Structures are given as structure tokens and as C-alpha cells.
Amino acid sequence: MQLHLRSLVRRHVLPSIQLRCAFFSTGASASSSSGAAASKVSKSLPRFRSTEKSDAVLGFFRSQGLDGANVRKIIARKPGLLTWDVETKLAPRFKLLRDLGFSESDAVHVVMLHPIFLSYNIQNTLLPRLKFWESLFGSREILLENLLSYNRFMTRNIENVLRPNINFLRDECGIPEERISLVLRTRPTLIVHSRDALRALVDRTEGLGIPRKSKMFLWVLNVLHVISREKFEAQVKLMHSFGWSNSDFSAAIKKRPTFLILSIELLQRKMEFLVNDVGISPSDIACRPVPLVLSLEKRLIPRFRVMQILKSEGLWKSTNKLPIFFSTSGPKFLQKYVLPYQDILPTLLEV
């Protein structure tokens, strides 16, 4: 038993969590067995001679709504937590999140996404970073949304990484800080790269024929930073197979760069549908690429069925380019293509 306990510690999976999973069960036997296990651990490890602090830490985590699995994850990442004083070190971090406006459950979610919250000094590191990002996003609400969605941007140093990257985008690339802030609201990880990695992304974007001072430059950069070179090259190859030239590809990216986020399989399915079934020429798609980012099942196919029904009844009168037919907003689409015919074609609205 002792050898097993020591091996667990060497692997940084804290014994008082591994052995005390009964802490999250009910019943006196569970409580006594967990206490006995903790006592054995404390005798073999000087650092944990007393289970008083670890009991308090576990109790605090449970009081915050964390289940056993999540507590084990946190302790495995930072074993020293079980030696912390709850009142002076642990509780203030959760209080900070509550003061920011998080509910109890959201505060727990933030800690799971950003375990670094439990490592940073509150006054010297955590608060300055929170204030920096709140200022950059432009509101606390957007900060809270991103803290609930992203798990990397809080780890980067302000002076060594974040501010130099912002200065580079603003001063050398000529991108207004307001535009930088707008893009970062949707993907703050854009500026957590090293300086060299960010420069390489800028070179990739320029290589597509998009000048730094173009309004679309930062939006394309924002997309490329989550697309590997391998995936990008596979997308270029796929679109070439549909007849796109390099200039077609660049033109589409300038107008709707988010189509690059699609998987190769989904992009191929959409192109096959638009070209083979609907009959849109590849060059028209390059000029008006919005349909590529619309849902195939919820938008493209149902609207195509509407078009087929109208044509079969001799009611198709649209002179718009087909990509516009698919990209028209929902209310306008209903007003133009569905409601005028609801009396004679009642099934059209269902479609």
C-alpha cells in the first residue's frame, strides 16, 4: 500500500485526492475510510502530516459546486493547492470572479478553463491581466464571455508578448487599434503568438495579395492563425479541382475568409452541391462566396427546394444571381419567394 501511495505522489496525482474520492460520497464509512487513508499518507509524507488544510481545501471546492472529477483535475494540475490556506489564498480568487460578475457556476467554469487563476498573484498578475483584457475588449461583458470560452489568452505576459504584438499590428502593419480590439473580441488568441509567429502570419496574409492597410487584412489574419499550412494547401488544391484559379481563391478570401475554417469534407460537399445541383459557376462562387459559410442542411438545401418548386409551377421570376438568392436575409427571402405564393403553394412555407 505504501509503495502504491508513493508512486502516486511521484506522478503528481495527490494521494489525498486519489484515496479520498469517498469524500464526495455519502455515509460514515466513506468518511472514516477517507480519513484513514489521509492519515497513512500524512505519516509517509512530511508535507502532508496534517490533513486539516487538505480537508478545508476539499470542503471549499465542494462548497463552490465542483464535483469530484473536477477537483481531481485541478489538484493534478497544481498539487500544492492542498497545502493552501482557504481564507487567505483560495477563497479570494473565487471572490474576485464573483465580484467581476460571474455566477457561482460560471466562476467554477472559469477556474476549470483557466487553472492559471489559482497560480497567479492576485494583485501583481491576475488583476493587471484582467484589467488589460477588459480595456482591450472594450467592456467587462465581453471579457466575461471570453473567459467562459477561451483557455489560453490569460497565460501570456502583457509586457513581453501582448503589448509588443499590438504595437506591431498597429505601428508596422498600419491597423487601427479599434479594429484590432474588434477582431480580438471574437478571437483573443490572435495576439498570444510569439513575435516571429505573428510576423509569419502577416507574411502569409500578404502572400495572398491582401495589403496590410486593407480593411480585410486583419480579418484574414484572424482566420489564418487557426488554419494550418497543410489544411490551407489542401483547400487550395480542392478549389483548383473545381476550376478556381489562384486569383479566384484570393478574391473569395478577401470577401469571406471564414470559409477557410470549414473542414475539407464540408467544403467539398458545399461546392459539389452549389456547382453540380444548383448550377452556380465556380467563378460566381468566388465572386460571391457567402453561400460557402451558410448551413448546407438548414439554409442551402431548403432554399434550393423552394427554387425547384417555384420553377416547377412556372413561378420563378428572380433575376438575381443565385449566390444572392441563398445569402438574402430570412425575412427578405420569405417576403420575396414564399409569402406571395402561400395561398396556392401552402407547403412552400414548410419547406
pLDDT digits (tens, 9 = 90+) for 214-260: 889 999 999 999 999 999 999 999 999 999 999 999 999 999 999 99
Three-state secondary structure string covering 68-130:
HHHHHHHHHHCHHHHHCCHHHHHHHHHHHHHHHCCCHHHHHHHHHHCHHHHCCCHHHHHHHHH
List the grid coordinates of 90.
483560495
pLDDT higher than 70, residue 52: yes
Residue 268 near residue 260, CB atoms below 8 Å: no
Residue 144 near residue 100, CB atoms below 8 Å: yes
How far are the Cα atoms of 207, 224, 227, 232, 243 from residue 239, in angstroms, in the given order? 18, 17, 16, 11, 7
* C-alpha torsion 20→21→27→32, nearest 10: -10
Segment 54-74 shows an average pLDDT of 87
Residues 6+ apart with CB under 8 A from 36: none
Element (H, E) at 306: helix 301-312
Residue 17: predicted pLDDT? 40
pLDDT interval class at 50 (50, 70, 90): low
Q: Tell me, rounded to whole angstroms, the distance of Cα 314 from its chain centroid.
A: 46
Domain ranges of the chain: 1-82, 85-149, 295-351
Render pLDDT for 303-333 as a digit per residue (tens, 0 to 9): 999 999 999 988 888 777 888 899 999 999 9
Please give the Cα distance from 85 to 117 (Å, whole number): 16
Please give the Cα distance from 1 to 18 (Å, whole number): 13
Render pLDDT for 184-210 as a digit per residue (tens, 0 to 9): 998 898 999 889 999 999 999 999 989
340 burial type by CB count under 10 A (0-12 exposed, 13-18 middle, 19+ buried): middle
pTM metric for this prediction = 0.72
Q: How many CB atoms lie within 10 A of CB 186?
A: 13
Mean pLDDT of the chain: 83
List the grid coordinates of 54.
487538505
Residue 305: predicted pLDDT? 94
Please give the Cα distance from 20 to 36 (Å, whole number): 9
Three-state secondary structure call for residue 63:
helix
Render pLDDT for 120-155 as a digit per residue (tens, 0 to 9): 889 999 999 999 999 999 999 999 999 988 767 888
